[in-house]
Amino acid sequence: MKHINHWFVRTYSGLAMALGLCASPYAAPLPEAASVHQYTLKNGMTLIVRPDHRAPTAVHMLWVRVGSMDEVDGTSGVAHVLEHMLFKGTPTVKAGEFSRRVAALGGRENAFTSKDYTGFYQQIPATRLQDVMQLEADRFAHNQWSDADFKKELEVVKEERRLRTEDNPHALLGEALSAVAYTASPYRRPIVGWMSDLEAMTPDDARAFYQRWYTPANSAVVVAGDVEPQAVLALAEKYYGSIPARALPERKPRVEPEQSGMRRLDFKAPAEQASVTLAFKTPRFAPAALDSEADTESNDALALTVLAAVLSGYDNARLDRALTQADGHVADSAGAYCGLGGRGPAMCMLYGVPSAGKTAAQVEAALRAQVALLAKDGVQATELQRVKNQWVASEVYKQDSVFNQARILGANWASGMPTDADEKLIARLRAVTAEQVQAVAAKYFGDDALTVATLLPQPLDKTRKPRAAPAGLRH
């Protein structure tokens, strides 16, 4: 299945990355009457429904508020491995039968794991919603598999790690950067897991993780599309409401200690070009701050999101103009990203790939110079208005996708945000001033909270054949 990593993803805009918004030039806005309905089933499971009657389709998603950050040392990757195992059957549905049934309904399905959550989804004709709800509720409550099935699937995950991480120098660099930048936070571990932990993982490790975290009170069902809320509620009560409630384990805080000096990492890997990433520890946006402007750190997180968009949130933004387009340009590509939500700590990232004849050190200096320029001279009103206009447009454009509607609702829930978080964040971001952006540029980009990771290219083995995707890899 899919594990989500954002180290080297170029931003559409700061908010688009923070919330996962996407845009389509052919989008049509939702009817004004459309609204989100949220319920709590008797066993503590959350149900969120968003009707959209423009097409006879529906998206059904199951979200579990558990990801790689909930693992412990020695079992990294177990959240992602368990996501794979959810496709391996129940007492009434054989391994592989789930996917075959969804395909027979005319649907598509998959799953994903992140640091903060795990999700499973099906997009189907709206008339087949009951079928997929029954299937998903069954595997959520009754997932089972043999030790032999586990060992076989574990080999698929290990090969996935080889294909997507170990054969990708940028993925390796991002993985090493997390391990150096974070000390106590579980964000230091890769979502796919360390290979040594995968080698040592047992079937009972995954079963224990399943029993610990896959509880109704830790889960939400999200349905968007051509549906009626009360009808969906009745189906959810029938298929999910009967699952026995179980107490949710206490989560330890695992607070990241304050960094007190620059950290540097030189990482050698076979690659054609060098690259450099600057990771600055920054405040995260607290869900409780949505309706209040009293939280200074959350206000700063909003301003940092605007700052990232000014730097690289659109074509021909500052980093493009200064680093990749100028005469004698220093970089082939460059970008910025500031984390906003999530259950763990946040970072602002600046990154770039040197152009021919230039060095990673020159790119690093150029990236820092652009932030220093913002801190000195501030942001122009036209720049600020442009990124704000994009965010407003993205709010409309994203409604073109029923899948995207469900995904954003689920991600908001998993992060502790209300269903209308994206609309409220848009309003808060539109209120960010040029003075706030200039202030955070001066405040958060010093050396003390900075980790610099540089990829040092090593010769490529031209005799080595590209690795084939493993059988059973679904994405």
In angstroms, how far is CA 177 from the centroid of its own chain? 17
Torsion-angle region of 261 (φ positive above 0: left; ψ -120 to 50: alpha; else: beta): left
Domain ranges of the chain: 41-239, 263-458
Work out the average pLDDT over 143-164: 98
Length, in residues, of the chain: 475
The pLDDT value recorded for residue 1 is 56
- Those residues with Cβ within 8 angstroms of residue 304's Cβ, 6 or more apart along the chain or in another chain: 14, 282, 283, 338, 348, 440, 444
The DSSP call for residue 128 is G
Beta-carbon count within 10 A of 75 CB: 21
Q: What pTM was computed for the model? A: 0.91
| Residue recorded with tokens 């652009």 | 370
Distance CA 454, CA 431 (A): 36
pLDDT band at 103 (very low <50, low <70, confident <90, very high): very high
Residue 2 has pLDDT above 80, yes or no: no
CATH class of the domain defined by 41-239: alpha beta
**Gap between the Cα atoms of 89 and 224, Å rounded:** 26
> What does the pLDDT read at residue 399?
77
Q: Which residues pair with 125 in a beta bridge?
A: 57
Question: Which is nearest to 4 in space by CA: 80, 59, 65, 71?
Answer: 80
The answer to whether 351 touches 317, Cβ cutoff 8 Å, is no
With CA atoms as reference, report the closest residue to 153 among 96, 212, 214. Answer: 96
Among 83, 159, 175, 383, the active-site one is 83
Cα distance between residue 326 and residue 112, in whole Å: 40
Contact 387, 314 (CB under 8 A): yes
Q: Which among 93, 111, 215 is positioned nearest to 157, based on CA atoms?
A: 111
Residue 21 has pLDDT above 80, yes or no: no
Q: What is the pLDDT of residue 222?
A: 98
User: What pLDDT, in 10s, does the model give residues 190-206?
Assistant: 999 999 999 999 999 99
CB 120 within 8 Å of CB 109: yes
Q: With bands split at pLDDT 50, 70 and 90, how would you rate the model's confidence at 467? A: low
Q: Which helix (H) or strand (E) segment is 148 a member of?
A: helix 147-161
- CA–CA dist 354, 426 (Å, integer): 34
Considering the chain, what is the average pLDDT of its residues?
91
Select from 328, 296, 430 the least CA-distant residue to 14.
Answer: 430
- Rounded to whole angstroms, how far apart are CA atoms 398 and 19? 11
Quick one: fold of 263-458? Cytochrome Bc1 Complex; Chain A, domain 1 (3.30.830)
Q: With b meaning 16 or more CB within 10 Å and e meaning fewer, what string describes 213-225? A: bbbbebbbbbbbb
Distance CA(180)–CA(279), nearest Å, equals 10
Beta bridge pairs of residue 351: 277, 335
Query: What's the pLDDT band for 18 if we cut at 50, 70, 90?
Result: very low
Q: What sign for the dihedral angle of Cα 124, 128, 134, 135?
A: negative
Phi-psi region of 74 (alpha: psi -120 to 50; beta: other; left: phi over 0): left
State mean pLDDT over 13-26. Answer: 33
Looking at residue 378, its pLDDT comes to 97
How does pLDDT run across 288-338, given as a tens digit for each residue? 999 999 999 999 999 999 999 999 999 999 999 999 998 889 999 999 999
CB contact set of 348 (below 8 Å; sequence gap of 6+): 279, 280, 282, 304, 307, 308, 336, 337, 338, 339, 444, 445
Kind and range of the H or E element at 333? Answer: strand 331-338
CA distances from 125 to 53, 108, 199, 381 (A): 12, 10, 41, 46
263-458 and 41-239 share a CATH fold? yes
SS3 of 12, please?
coil
Q: List the one residue out of 85, 78, 96, 92 whose CA is nearest residue 149.
A: 85
Query: Is the Cα dihedral 214, 69, 406, 249 positive or negative?
Result: positive
Quote the CA–CA distance of 45 and 38 in Å, as a whole number.
11
**Position 398 pLDDT exceeds 90:** no
Q: pLDDT tens digits, residue range 204-217?
A: 999 999 999 999 99
- Give 374 or 7, the one with higher predicted confidence: 374
pLDDT digits (tens, 9 = 90+) for 411-462: 999 999 999 998 899 999 999 999 999 999 999 999 999 999 999 999 998 7
- Of residues 165 and 467, more confidently modeled: 165
The reply to whether 297 belongs to the active site is no
d(CA 134, CA 342) in angstroms, rounded, equals 30
Rounded-to-integer distance, Cα 460 and Cα 271, Å: 6
Structure token digits, residue 325: 């387009």
Under a CB-based contact definition with an 8 Å cutoff, are residues 342 and 115 in contact? yes
Backbone angles phi, psi at 213, to 5 degrees: -115, -25
Does 103 or 29 have the greater pLDDT score? 103
pLDDT at 397: 80
Longest Cα separation, the chain: 66
Tokens in use for 161? 């790690």
**pLDDT tens for each residue of 407-418:** 999 999 999 999
At position 326, the amino acid (one-letter code) is: A
E strand or H helix at 205, and its extent?
Answer: helix 203-213
